[in-house]
A = this chain, B = another copy of it.
Amino acid sequence: MRELGEFALIARMNAGRSFGRDVLVGPGDDAAVVAAPTGRYVVSTDMLVQDRHFRLDWSSPADIGAKAIAQNAADVVAMNAAPSGFVVALGCPAETPVAFVDGLVDGMWAEATRAGAAIAGGDVVRSPQLVISVTAFGDPRDRPVLRSGARAGDTVAVAGGLGWSAAGLAVLAAGADTERFADVVAAHRVPRPPYAAVLELAPAVTITAMTDVSDGLLADLSHIAESSGVAVDIDSAAVADPALDPVATALDADASRWVLTGGEDHAFAATFPADIPVPPGWRAIGRVRTGAGVFVDGAAWSGPLGWESFDGGERRVAGE
């Protein structure tokens, strides 16, 4: 990277890319210009730090890049918005091989393309370890869907897998057979948010509240419960995933904990009015009730809800 220099590196990152219709002015000026046809846009930002959110021996450069984009795109889609652009700030050591950055950027573009948007610009600086900061933008499809709209009686539903990323992390941390459990390891390395489950909903479908599952299902639902002034009750049988049982058995672990508190799957959790059918791609997992807090099978949940950034970090990648 030192040999190539910042500007040559940025040119290399952008060579041959197609910026699509939303990016009106792409990389190469002081700022990008992005379309906002509805007169407003949603924006979310996340930072990933080496050895904290990913490990270079567990993930390929392309995996890391794709994950960084996916988790931000999921935040945008969880607002009921279609991704329209990303900007990326990248900190990396001067001795980083250019091939590493090529892989990282290719992974970013692949996931950005899957999410329907381009990388409109960025920044590259030197840093003691790899740090990736992604900001994602989106066009609200109709109105933004917040966490605060859930009403007692609503159906709680999810789209996408739960607990897979946590199971994959457990496989990697235990040094278990990554070939045998390739599906969950892949899910940990690169979450695949089911964007289409939201973006292809019929316009007539009302979503009362929505979030993506980043910190853990119960943690993220607790945010909806708190913002909406309601309680959420989850049916443990409805969220159980038999695909995780062999992994749990092999590791002597509790699959239900992965499902309920695992985070990082970037599934979508939403509440729908009780009088409409759960839309295609979604499955009902519980009910919104009056009250406060998070319940599982009718009982107040007293265990950890998920992962928080300064709590000691036992839930993310090992090493600190």
Which chain A residues have a beta carbon within 8 Å of chain B's beta carbons?
A: 1-2, 4-7, 9, 24-25, 28-37, 39-49, 52-53, 74-76, 78-79, 81, 85, 87-91, 94, 120-129, 131, 133, 135-138, 140, 144, 146-148, 210-212, 227, 308-313, 320
CB <8 Å contact, A29 and B135? no
CB <8 Å contact, A39 and B37? yes
CB <8 Å contact, A87 and B45? yes
Known A40-B24, A127-B131; contact A79-B313, beta-carbon cutoff 8 A: no
- Residues of chain B with a CB closer than 8 A to A33's CB: 40-43, 79, 140, 144
- Residues of chain B with a CB closer than 8 A to A125's CB: 47-49, 52-53, 309
Indicate how many identical chains form the complex.
2
- A89–B133 Cα distance when bound, in Å, is 7
- Chain B's closest residue to A124 (CB) is B309
CB <8 Å contact, B310 and A94? yes
6 more A-B residue pairs beyond the given contacts A36-B40, A43-B87, with a C-beta to C-beta distance below 8 A: A5-B309, A25-B42, A32-B43, A35-B39, A45-B87, A52-B126
**From B29, B44, B123, contact of A31 by CB (8 A):** B44
Known A4-B310, A126-B52, A311-B5; contact A42-B32, beta-carbon cutoff 8 A: yes
CB <8 Å contact, A227 and B28? yes
- Chain B's closest residue to A45 (CB) is B87
CB distance from A288 to the nearest CB of B (A): 17
CB <8 Å contact, A52 and B127? yes
- A47–B310 Cα distance when bound, in Å, is 21
CB distance from A47 to the nearest CB of B (A): 4
- Residues of chain B with a CB closer than 8 A to A310's CB: 1-2, 4-6, 9, 94, 124, 126
CB distance from A308 to the nearest CB of B (A): 5
CB <8 Å contact, A43 and B31? yes
- A135–B85 Cα distance when bound, in Å, is 13
- Residues of chain B with a CB closer than 8 A to A126's CB: 49, 52, 309-310, 313, 320
A/B interface sample: 26 pairs, CB < 8 A: A2-B310, A6-B308, A24-B40, A29-B79, A29-B211, A30-B147, A31-B43, A31-B76, A31-B81, A32-B43, A33-B40, A33-B79, A33-B140, A36-B39, A36-B40, A39-B39, A43-B87, A43-B121, A43-B135, A45-B133, A46-B123, A47-B127, A52-B125, A89-B135, A126-B309, A128-B128
- A138–B49 Cα distance when bound, in Å, is 28
CB <8 Å contact, B47 and A32? no
- Chain B's closest residue to A138 (CB) is B31
CB <8 Å contact, A2 and B87? no
CB <8 Å contact, A45 and B144? no
- Chain B's closest residue to A2 (CB) is B310
- Residues of chain B with a CB closer than 8 A to A53's CB: 125
